[in-house]
Amino acid sequence: MNLDTRPYRKRLKLLRDDFSTWRDHYRELMDYICPRKGEWLDNESKSNNDGKKRHTNIINFAGGRAAEICANMFQGGLTRPSSEWFEVETSEPDLNKYKPVQEYLSKVAQLIRKAFSNTNFYSAVKSFYHELCVFGTGVVHMEKDDEFMMRIHPYTAGQYYLGQSPAYVVDTCYRRFCMTVEQLVRKFGLDNCSDPVKAAYGQNQLDKWMNVIHVIQPRVHRDIYKLTSVNMPWASVYFEENGDEDMALRVSGYPMQPFSAGRWFRKGTDVYGWSPGMDELGDIKMLQKLELKKLKALDKHIDPPLNAPIGLRGANLTPHGLNWHDPMAGSWQLSPVYQINPNLDHIRGEIFAVVERIRSGFWNDIFLLISNSQDDNKTATQIAAEQSEQLMLLGPVVESVQEFLSVLIERAYQIMSDYGLLPPAPEELRGREWRVKFVGILAQAQRMIDIASIERWIAFGGNLEATEVASGRPPSAMDAIDIDGAVYQVGERLGVPPEVIRDRKEVEQIRAQRQAQIQAQQEAAQAAQLADVSKTMSETKIGEKSFLEETMGGR
Q: What's the pLDDT tens digit per position in 2-27?
A: 899 999 999 999 999 999 999 999 99
pLDDT band at 386 (very low <50, low <70, confident <90, very high): low
SS3 state of residue 48: coil
Neighbouring C-alpha atoms within 13 Å toward the C-beta of 214:
20
With beta carbons less than 8 A apart as the criterion, state whether 330 and 280 touch.
Answer: no
Average pLDDT for 460-466: 84
Judge whether residue 546 has pLDDT over 70: no
- Given this model, what pLDDT does residue 377 score? 54
- Given this model, what pLDDT does residue 58 score? 94
Q: Measure the CA–CA gap between 248 and 230, rounded to whole angstroms.
A: 13
Q: Measure the CA–CA gap between 14 and 462, rounded to whole angstroms.
A: 61
In a domain, 494, yes or no: yes
In a domain, 380, yes or no: no
Domain containing 28 equals: 6-66+141-278
Identify the residue with better confidence: 15 or 338. 15
pLDDT band at 327 (very low <50, low <70, confident <90, very high): confident
In a domain, 426, yes or no: no
End residue of a domain, out of 212, 247, 278 = 278
Among residues 65, 71, 111, the alpha carbon closest in space to that of 87 is found at 111
Judge whether residue 236 has pLDDT over 60: yes
pLDDT band at 74 (very low <50, low <70, confident <90, very high): very high
Judge whether residue 497 has pLDDT over 70: no
244 and 152 within one domain: yes
Identify the residue with better confidence: 554 or 185. 185
Burial grade of 86 (CB within 10 A; 0-12, 13-18, 19 or more): buried
Q: What is the dihedral of CA 159, 246, 171, 43, to 10 degrees?
A: 20
- Given this model, what pLDDT does residue 338 score? 80
Q: Measure the CA–CA gap between 179 and 159, rounded to whole angstroms.
A: 13
190 and 150 within one domain: yes
For residues 532-548, one letter each, b for 16 or more C-beta atoms within 10 angstroms of the residue's C-beta and e for the rest, the string is eeeeebeeeeeeeebeb
- Given this model, what pLDDT does residue 218 score? 96
Judge whether residue 429 has pLDDT over 70: yes
pLDDT band at 544 (very low <50, low <70, confident <90, very high): low
- Given this model, what pLDDT does residue 400 score? 93
Which segment of 18-22, 38-42, 255-259, 500-504 scores lowest on mean pLDDT? 38-42
- Side chain identity, residue 272: Y
Rounded percentage of the chain residues whose pLDDT exceeds 70 = 87
149 and 235 within one domain: yes
- Given this model, what pLDDT does residue 97 score? 77
Most confident option among 90-99, 261-270, 401-410: 401-410
Q: Is the dihedral of CA 182, 184, 190, 194 positive or negative?
A: negative
- Side chain identity, residue 466: A
Q: Measure the CA–CA gap between 449 and 456, rounded to whole angstroms.
A: 11
Most confident option among 160-174, 340-354, 497-511: 160-174
Strands (E) across 417-461 are located at 434-438
End residue of a domain, out of 255, 278, 301 = 278
- Given this model, what pLDDT does residue 277 score? 97
Phi (first) and psi of residue 353, to 5 degrees: -65, -40
Average pLDDT for 275-289: 97
252 and 191 within one domain: yes
Judge whether residue 371 has pLDDT over 70: no
In a domain, 256, yes or no: yes
461 and 541 within one domain: no
Q: Is the dihedral of CA 334, 338, 343, 344 positive or negative?
A: negative
- Longest CA–CA span in the chain (Å) reads 153
In a domain, 461, yes or no: yes
Identify the residue with better confidence: 106 or 382. 106
End residue of a domain, out of 467, 486, 501 = 501
Among residues 358, 282, 287, 284, the alpha carbon closest in space to that of 32 is found at 284
Q: Measure the CA–CA gap between 440 and 444, rounded to whole angstroms.
A: 6
In a domain, 515, yes or no: yes
Q: Alpha carbon 325 to chain centroid distance?
A: 71
210 and 273 within one domain: yes
Average pLDDT for 284-308: 90
pLDDT band at 523 (very low <50, low <70, confident <90, very high): confident
513 and 477 within one domain: no
518 and 470 within one domain: no
Identify the residue with better confidence: 197 or 332. 197
220 and 258 within one domain: yes
169 and 212 within one domain: yes
Among residues 387, 394, 416, 346, the alpha carbon closest in space to that of 114 is found at 416
How much is the mean pLDDT over the chain? Answer: 86
Q: Measure the CA–CA gap between 409 and 89, rounded to whole angstroms.
A: 13
Q: Measure the CA–CA gap between 286 and 303, rounded to whole angstroms.
A: 25
- Domain count of the chain? 3
Tens digit of pLDDT for each residue in 44-60? 545 556 777 888 899 99
Judge whether residue 64 has pLDDT over 60: yes
- Given this model, what pLDDT does residue 547 score? 55
- Given this model, what pLDDT does residue 94 score? 78
524 and 494 within one domain: no
Please provide the DSSP assignment of 267-279 as one string.
Answer: -TT-SS-B-HHHH
Q: What is the dihedral of CA 224, 228, 230, 235, to 10 degrees?
A: 70
pLDDT band at 486 (very low <50, low <70, confident <90, very high): confident
pLDDT band at 38 (very low <50, low <70, confident <90, very high): confident
461 and 529 within one domain: no
DSSP state of 262: E
In a domain, 119, yes or no: no
Judge whether residue 451 has pLDDT over 60: yes
In a domain, 340, yes or no: no
Most confident option among 92-96, 280-284, 295-299, 308-312: 280-284
Judge whether residue 533 has pLDDT over 70: no
- Given this model, what pLDDT does residue 303 score? 84
Please provide the DSSP assignment of 224-244 as one string.
Answer: TT--SGGGSSEEEEEEETTS-
